[in-house]
Structure 1
């Protein structure tokens, strides 16, 4: 192995974590089952799908970040790991071991064995230890040749197998091989981009992709497009918006010690990733009659419009048990939290300009936001006051100096409502927003509201 140019001595490979190994090993049986099937390339496709799912869950390994063609190399390494792991298990069951003499003699030879895919012979040089799995970012992608010689190889293999059966019946050891047949493979299985998971993309995977730093926006866009293709509807981006909301929830619920940004900045970051991912949408992606990159903002706009209407979880008229009432209270509490969070997303989207785009009626987004900010303060439920103050702050940040006096009056009304809020957590939240909004109003004279 010392003469193998694909092995980099200065950089030791980074080992997988226990959690990553558990994930990969949990799919070994699925890979092994497909190696016994009759569909060419099915096992490799399964391994590549698991590699894509790995990227969604854990991101690109640090040792591979910044390296040319990191994603194709990573997928090939995962495939080779599954292939070698299954191969070792089979050799162990059959009582066969791999010879180490060529490596000890320093010869530039490779071990040949049949891949799990039918009728494909694969060259593998070296393999990890039995219980380990490592990165090797300097591995080159195997060269490929066509299947031109496949029939000849199959004939030689059949002849060799027949000869070995006859010799075993006569108790005569087989003669040494006369030559070493060596070629690589090229299947019809297309290698998808980093997260083309048409069958494996799930709402949870999409949620994680929105706030996982190791997944770039092109990969996120591929994930979204894959999910949309496998779940067609007139409004296919609705589940994507739900995943975005879930990503915001997960980020805001993270332990304070592990967070480096405010709630507002966290939401802004996630929405920007969503916007950038939408920039890669093709014209064939259509949501509610809007196609291409603007389909994403359109889906977000529709979700925000629905979120502006508040209605509590009503209690049944009669015949409820204590357990039913507890469930209703819990559901109502969660709905109030979601309503306030949607208001935070609404405000952030307004600041990013995601609520209006070419083709809208003039002032549509501003009218929706202003109506909510003006009306919410006069409603009876305090949860609407909390939601309204978030929208008002974003209106101040995006508004003009000519409307400063108008905003000051509305903010003063919200200050009066602040004293009536009974829930301590909501009152603390409104306190923070009121102080920030007052600072934004003060900056309007300087023309630098942020």
Structure 2
């Protein structure tokens, strides 16, 4: 029988590391040969209270390994080489700690596993294979609810999305998560409380490294936007959202996920934990500019059929909804400090969000009411953070709010008028509270 036959058992060979590489790996296991209470750094993290901390440590060591020695030859030319090798290093730490601990505690390998291994190695395959019997069956006899292994897990429905529901988190292997990772699967992972931050981070890393781009996280930000939009829609159709605006909770989740990024994840020259916030900042800046459809005063608008006109209206309506949704995400990012993540002082933080302040001042003077609606969310976030106080600052805020209030009377769309009403009243209340603190 050919050695390529998938039925032939191929014993797994141990991973070959050089003495120098083994010395590097073992340098992070300084106490594994002692019988006292001291443990290796990896083992200590497995017993800590932070979920995924040990895996994060192992993946960081794997990144150091790649920086020092490069990828092994067997990982050259295969799909997703770096994530697979990092997972191999993680398994090495896990298995080494387990074997050493069993030896120290006098727990040899169970006889059952030894017997099963021996029996597995003694299996012989006959080359005289009988012709299989083909049994006809009726296509309609299969039950409708039979679960087929080839079918993927159905996409969860978010009509009653509750991100704070008590579902146990499970940290999956990145090898399993690398299967069919797409924008939709990342979006669903953001929404699912069953996917913890390390697992979601591993998914994003695998997805980003498969993209030959200097800005590989742009699509991930699109998935985050879709997740927030779904949660926002659920809030209007189900019971009140536990944390108020879903933008805040899902952006906090994105911050936590980004904290697990290794230095190999790079977006626009920002790497590691700064790559995620950098990608969000760039997308917010891009989506903060409103562009009307087909705006060209020198070109007469074409005559459209009724169907085409309905499609155009529907498309334009969705663009306006998305623009306001991005403004709410923008506002949440300001309040969470994500637009000044590199700042060490208030001055640097103010500089990092100067674009937001310009947008807040200028939006109210634009022609389209959708920009007024978006701008008031930014104004409220700037007032709530209140990095700069004083009478002059308060007077500027009051003038801006007065201008927005004048625009409120001109808004024709009832939904947008309701949004501006709520944000405007809240901004005035926040301004009065800010005055009490200064």
TM-score by length of 1: 0.58
SS of residue in 1 equivalent to 2:290:
coil
Q: Which of the two has higher C-alpha Rg?
A: 1
Deviations 1:91-148 (A, max 9, x none): xxxxxxxxxxxxxxxxxxxxxxxxxxxxxxxxxxxxxxxxxxxxxxxxxx99755997
The separation in 2 between residues aligned to 1:384 and 1:143, in whole angstroms, is 69
Deviations 1:32-59 (A, max 9, x none): xxxx955979xxxxxxxxxxxxxxxxxx
Match of 2:333 in 1: 349
**RMSD, aligned α-carbons:** 3.4
Q: Is the CA contact (8 Å cut-off) linking 1:196 and 1:223 kept in structure 2? A: no
The separation in 2 between residues aligned to 1:297 and 1:39, in whole angstroms, is 49
- Residues 93-242 of structure 1 correspond to what in structure 2 (within 5 A)? 144=113, 149=118, 153-155=122-124, 158=126, 193=173, 196-242=176-222
How far 1:314 sits from its partner (Å)? 2.4
Is 1:401 the counterpart of 2:389? The answer is: yes
Is 1:290 the counterpart of 2:277? The answer is: no
How far 1:285 sits from its partner (Å)? 0.4
Match of 2:323 in 1: 339
Structure 1: gaps of 5 or more residues: 1-35, 42-65, 70-140, 166-190
The separation in 2 between residues aligned to 1:377 and 1:325, in whole angstroms, is 29
The separation in 2 between residues aligned to 1:280 and 1:431, in whole angstroms, is 40
SS of residue in 2 equivalent to 1:446:
helix
* Alignment match of 2:294 (pick from 314, 325, 328): 314
Q: Is the CA contact (8 Å cut-off) linking 1:198 and 1:230 kept in structure 2? A: no
* Alignment match of 2:411 (pick from 411, 414, 421): 421
Sort the Cα spacing of 1:329 and 1:439 in 2 relative to 1 into closer, same or farther, 3 A.
same
Deviations 1:223-248 (A, max 9, x none): 11121122232111011000000001
* Alignment match of 1:387 (pick from 361, 374, 379): 374
The separation in 1 between residues aligned to 2:244 and 2:263, in whole angstroms, is 32
The separation in 2 between residues aligned to 1:154 and 1:235, in whole angstroms, is 51
Q: Is the CA contact (8 Å cut-off) linking 1:264 and 1:344 kept in structure 2? A: no
Structure with more contact order per residue of length (Cα contacts < 8 Å, sep ≥ 6): 1
How far 1:375 sits from its partner (Å)? 0.3
- Residues 47-86 of structure 1 correspond to what in structure 2 (within 5 A)? none
* Alignment match of 1:248 (pick from 221, 225, 228): 228
Is 1:305 the counterpart of 2:285? The answer is: yes
How far 1:149 sits from its partner (Å)? 3.9
The separation in 2 between residues aligned to 1:144 and 1:379, in whole angstroms, is 73
Aligned residues: 288
The separation in 1 between residues aligned to 2:437 and 2:330, in whole angstroms, is 23
* Alignment match of 1:325 (pick from 289, 306, 309): 309
How far 1:204 sits from its partner (Å)? 1.0
Q: Is the CA contact (8 Å cut-off) linking 1:195 and 1:223 kept in structure 2? A: no
Deviations 1:287-322 (A, max 9, x none): 111100100000000000001110112287224222
The separation in 2 between residues aligned to 1:334 and 1:369, in whole angstroms, is 23
Sort the Cα spacing of 1:226 and 1:340 in 2 relative to 1 into closer, same or farther, 3 A.
same
Sort the Cα spacing of 1:285 and 1:142 in 2 relative to 1 into closer, same or farther, 3 A.
farther
205-214 or 330-339: bigger deviation: 205-214
Match of 1:373 in 2: 360
Is 1:274 the counterpart of 2:254? The answer is: yes
Sort the Cα spacing of 1:144 and 1:278 in 2 relative to 1 into closer, same or farther, 3 A.
farther
SS of residue in 2 equivalent to 1:218:
helix
Deviations 1:254-309 (A, max 9, x none): 15353432785311000000000000000000011110010000000000000111
Q: Is the CA contact (8 Å cut-off) linking 1:376 and 1:388 kept in structure 2? A: yes
Q: Is the CA contact (8 Å cut-off) linking 1:197 and 1:227 kept in structure 2? A: no
Sort the Cα spacing of 1:230 and 1:419 in 2 relative to 1 into closer, same or farther, 3 A.
same
355-364 or 321-330: bigger deviation: 355-364
